[in-house]
Amino acid sequence: MTKNTDSLTPESDARVLSAALRKLCLPKWLWRSGVVAATVFVWIWLAGQILTFGKLIRYNGLEPLGEQVVSFMTRFNPYLWIGVIVILSLILLSVLRTWLKASVMRGRASIVSVSVVQQLAQNLSVDGVDVFKWVWSHEEGPVTVGDLRRTRDQIRSGRVRKLAMARAQNRALEEVLAAKPAHPTDAIQAPEVIQPVGLSEARLEPIVSNLEPKIEPELKQKPGPRDDSIPTLTAKQ
């Protein structure tokens, strides 16, 4: 099967990847939607039951504390149970959000079959396959749903043009290096002679010549002191 490269564009590559993602993710989307809908329905029913239970509560047992306390608790009773429902709703929302996030991460880590990858390779353009290979590294593992999503997002963001520009820049640098021979001797520089600041060679010569007569006598070996502790041998007459 040959591809018509003239009709393949980054937009068509993005549509092909979106269609593949819908086909792969549709069962999980339906499952998540069903779980969320069932949870919301059950919670609405349960919240209604809590409000009904709250309306049946009477505070006659608080009469020893005074009529004002009983009257206050009777007026405050509906708001009390509404507050309970709000707190429980926030807890349920947090749990549901955590579950959804974990489910999405597991879905993105799902491995794509070889047949789907072959079909994508046939339907994508050469630039689209290039971006696909740029996103996915076979050394890290098989292709996942997350790799397909990142490939689609990169194609939409202009990754094809960026890769082409990067290759052109690299080719320009290689052509310059190939045309310009390397001269390793040019990089070797003679060591720089450091002279004392403020003293030229002409001024250093008389100073050195004046020091030489003073240094030479000191270099001569002086006789050591006589050690009287060593006995001397005298000839007997």
Give the amino acid at 143. Answer: V
Residues contacting residue 172 through CB under 8 Å, at least 6 positions apart: none
Q: For position 86, what pLDDT does the model report?
A: 94
Query: Concatenated DSSP letters for 187-224?
Result: G--PPPPP--TT--HHHHHHHHHHHHHHHHHHHSPPPP
CA distance 79 to 231: 122
Express each pLDDT in 43-74 by its tens digit: 999 999 998 888 887 777 766 777 777 777 77
Q: What percent of the chain has pLDDT over 70?
A: 71
> Burial level of 124, CB count in 10 A (0-12/13-18/19+)?
buried
pLDDT at 234: 43
Domain residues of the chain, as ranges? 7-165
Position 69 scores a pLDDT of 73
Q: What is the pLDDT of residue 34?
A: 94
Q: What per-residue confidence (pLDDT) applies to 54?
A: 84
Q: How many Å apart are CA 80 and CA 68, to the nearest integer?
A: 17
Chain centroid offset of residue 27 CA: 31
Are the beta carbons of 28 and 139 closer than 8 angstroms? no
For residue 228, pLDDT beyond 60? no
User: Tens digit of pLDDT for each residue in 201-222?
Assistant: 555 455 545 555 554 555 455 5
SS3 letters for 102-150? Answer: HHHHHHHCCECCHHHHHHHHHHCCHHHHHHHHHHCCCCCCCCEHHHHHH
Rounded mean pLDDT of 145-153?
Answer: 93
pLDDT in tens, 10-31: 888 999 999 999 999 999 999 9
What local confidence, expressed as pLDDT, does residue 206 receive?
A: 56
Average pLDDT over residues 143-149: 93
What does the mean pLDDT of the chain come to? 79
